[in-house]
Amino acid sequence: MKKIVSALFLLAFQTFAFAQEPAPYAQITNVLSRNTVSLSGDWNTLVDLYEEGFYNYRGKAKPLDQTMFMDQSFFADETRLVEYDFDHAPILKVPGDWNTQRADLYRYEGTIWYRKSFDWTRKEGKRYFLYFGAANYTSIVGLNRQLLGKHVGGFTPFDFEVTDVLKEGKNSLVVKVDNRRHTQDVPTTTFDWWNYGGITRDVCIIETPATFIRDYSLSLRKEAVPSDPKAAKKAERDVLKYGRTIEGWVRLDGAQASQTVTVEIPELNVRQQVTANAEGYAPFSFKAKVGLWSPESPKLYDVRISSGDDSVSDRIGFRTIEARGNELYLNGKKIFCRGVCIHEEKPYDAGGRSFSKEDARTLLGWVKELNGNFVRLAHYPHNETMIRTAEEMGIMVWSEIPVYWHIDWTNPETYANAENQLVENITRDRNRANIIIWSVSNETPLGDARLKFLSKLIDKAHEMDPTRLVSSAMEKTYIDRNTVTCNDPLAEKVDLMSFNEYVGWYDGDADKCDRVKWVFDIKKPVFISEFGGGALAGRHGDVKQRFTEENQEYLFQKQVVMFSKMEGLAGTTPWILKDFRSPKRFLTGIQDDYNRKGLISENGQKKKAFAVMQKWYEQLKKEYE
């Protein structure tokens, strides 16, 4: 009977799991500052190309007790037929993609089973959550032979409560990670980056009191700037006299949800107390003479939130960001985003998914060398350490979900997946002052279903976070031979008119930059979210010769001149900081699985075009000081 029940459960779970994804849930935020036990390190793994660990030879789901979630060791009882043994299986490091850890996995797309066994000592009155920073792409998680759940999406965190599943003594954690691509996925089956699979970010167990602080938000209240000069002057005087309004909320989770919450910012002499409602929700607002976060002065405050037996510390910056007509204002001052695009790859030739502070410092150090103050983290949410390191270094961020190219626009599960990734991204990073833009997509083909899908995502982003700008990397359109614009219907919905243009690379040669004229009939800040061309570092030749450093340098020189004639330009992010792996880049001896549009090679070698951007950004830095 037990077998039938477990098979039905698994079937139901799989049917449910495959038929529709779990609704968005409020994940635990700021894990870095909580009581955690790391499970990162060596995990035993099995490459399961034919899904043997989950399906029988007729393709039907196996009863749970015949799947690899059982973590049965062959050597324990050789009378039973068990054809896998994690105890003697090869090791993969977590965090880390599998592609760059083993040559046989370089192009692998499929399932790999990960198993971590660990000892545990239970403490009464505590709750425990199993947390994954990210795993690409579909993860099914089992602990001590119980299925905890499934997560879809390769770049956002997820967690499961395991308070009643953890055992005293030895525990067995088994995770099935499958990076195969599907039409209905987000992203879909094709994208211009390497499909790095695996548990690519940290794994840990979070310990909390019975009632704990699950999530919170602190930001400056968005104040309308009075149009009347006298009123504006008075508003400025009031800020000097009384300070600015900080508002936010805390969300508790646990039986004693309606307990007192204390928010402290010692440097501002702030100590606010508020009682949470029965659902554990505690909104607050207060005035404080707060120093504002900016690239020039990336001021962060120690914030401590406590309630009952729980307390969480964070370092939070405060700033305003707004679009006024076709200009961008940070803290009421007009700015230009001197940026560059970055994929989440290690800075040197090992490549693979980056996740460490050291990697972040290297990549962002190059942005600083470029005289940059901004990064477009393409095309998916990067690891939290990258965002926090950028915040400390005074680098603003464009944060994006991988709604990339031709998505399955009419599929409700695809929308639910995209929205869930947006919710998880905003939930994780809503307190990062340096994120000023949420992007819902990149280069998506026009159409009614696409417009409806993306408009809904934009509304969701605005609803979750009215303090930031929302945009999308759209595409340019020629209205005659040499006149270009961006007339994507989505432009009505977004706060920035952002688009990718490759004049001089995919679109004519570099001299074409001299001929094109840009016109915009929508008064919003213009943001060039991609431009550039390829070059193999060290390959030299005539400026007209493709993939030479001279051609790339010449193209960038022409682009910079073209930008100087562009009305309402508020930011540029050339594609891309560093050469990166892509299965779409075949040119032997030049590309060899690398997209060569980097200003820097995969070995950290700066190309001649780097100096062109560096010089132009230096001029802009002076102009906007």
User: Please, which residue, 54 or 191, has the CB nearer to ligand GCU?
Assistant: 191
User: Please, which residue, 431 or 595, has the CB nearer to ligand GCU?
Assistant: 595
Give the count of beta carbons closer than 10 Å to the beta carbon of residue 41.
12
The reply to whether omega before 95 is within 30° of 0 (cis) is: yes
User: Please, which residue, 264 or 443, has the CB nearer to ligand GCU?
Assistant: 443
If 0-12 CB within 10 Å is exposed, 13-18 middle and 19+ buried, where does residue 606 land? middle
User: Please, which residue, 22 or 583, has the CB nearer to ligand GCU?
Assistant: 583
Q: Least CB distance from residue 500 to ligand GCU, whole Å? A: 4
Amino acid at residue number 191: F
User: Please, which residue, 84 or 404, has the CB nearer to ligand GCU?
Assistant: 404
Q: Which residues lie across from 319 on neighbouring strands?
A: none
User: Please, which residue, 72 or 439, has the CB nearer to ligand GCU?
Assistant: 439
Q: Using an 8 Å Cβ cutoff, are 97 and 197 in contact? A: yes
Q: Least CB distance from residue 473 to ligand GCU, whole Å? A: 6
d(CA 198, CA 549): 35
Only one residue has tokens 């646990």, namely: 254
Give the count of beta carbons closer than 10 Å to the beta carbon of residue 30.
19
Subset of 109-168 contacting ligand GCU (CB under 6 A): none
User: Please, which residue, 429 or 530, has the CB nearer to ligand GCU?
Assistant: 530
Q: Least CB distance from residue 575 to ligand GCU, whole Å? A: 5
Q: Does 530 bind ligand GCU (CB under 6 A)?
A: yes
Q: How far is CA 530 from CA 177, 285, 500, 576, in A?
A: 32, 39, 4, 8
Only one residue has tokens 């919710």, namely: 423
d(CA 284, CA 325): 32
User: Please, which residue, 220 or 418, has the CB nearer to ligand GCU?
Assistant: 418
User: Please, which residue, 530 or 550, has the CB nearer to ligand GCU?
Assistant: 530
Q: Least CB distance from residue 106 to ligand GCU, whole Å? A: 20
Q: Which of 178, 314, 424, 443 binds ligand GCU (CB under 6 A)?
A: 443
Which pair of structure tokens corresponds to residue 98? Answer: 């599998």
User: Please, which residue, 472 or 548, has the CB nearer to ligand GCU?
Assistant: 472
Q: Does 216 bind ligand GCU (CB under 6 A)?
A: no
d(CA 592, CA 16): 41
Q: Which residues lie across from 118 on neighbouring strands?
A: 171
Of residues 366, 367, 383, the one with CA closest to residue 375: 367
Q: Least CB distance from residue 345 to ligand GCU, whole Å? A: 12
Q: Least CB distance from residue 498 to ligand GCU, whole Å? A: 12
Q: Least CB distance from residue 466 to ligand GCU, whole Å? A: 28
Q: Least CB distance from residue 580 to ligand GCU, whole Å? A: 8
Q: Does 442 bind ligand GCU (CB under 6 A)?
A: yes
d(CA 580, CA 566): 30
Q: Does 500 bind ligand GCU (CB under 6 A)?
A: yes
Q: Using an 8 Å Cβ cutoff, are 604 and 345 in contact? A: no
d(CA 352, CA 360): 13
Q: Does 192 bind ligand GCU (CB under 6 A)?
A: yes
If 0-12 CB within 10 Å is exposed, 13-18 middle and 19+ buried, where does residue 419 land? buried
Subset of 357-416 contacting ligand GCU (CB under 6 A): 379
Q: Least CB distance from residue 399 to ligand GCU, whole Å? A: 16
Q: Does 595 bind ligand GCU (CB under 6 A)?
A: yes
Q: Using an 8 Å Cβ cutoff, are 45 and 101 in contact? A: no
d(CA 17, CA 151): 9
Interaction mask 537-576, ligand GCU, x per CB under 6 A: --------------------------------------x-
| DSSP line for 90-105 | PEEEESS-STTT-GGG
Which pair of structure tokens corresponds to residue 332? Answer: 């009421």
Q: Which of 34, 214, 460, 597 binds ligand GCU (CB under 6 A)?
A: 597
The angle that helices 384-393 and 357-369 make with each other, rounded to 10 degrees, is 40
Nearest position to ligand GCU, beta carbon:
192
# residues near ligand GCU by CB under 6 A: 9
Q: Least CB distance from residue 169 to ligand GCU, whole Å? A: 48
User: Please, which residue, 413 or 507, has the CB nearer to ligand GCU?
Assistant: 507
Q: Least CB distance from residue 55 to ligand GCU, whole Å? A: 34
Residues in touch with ligand GCU (CB under 6 A):
192, 379, 442-443, 500, 530, 575, 595, 597
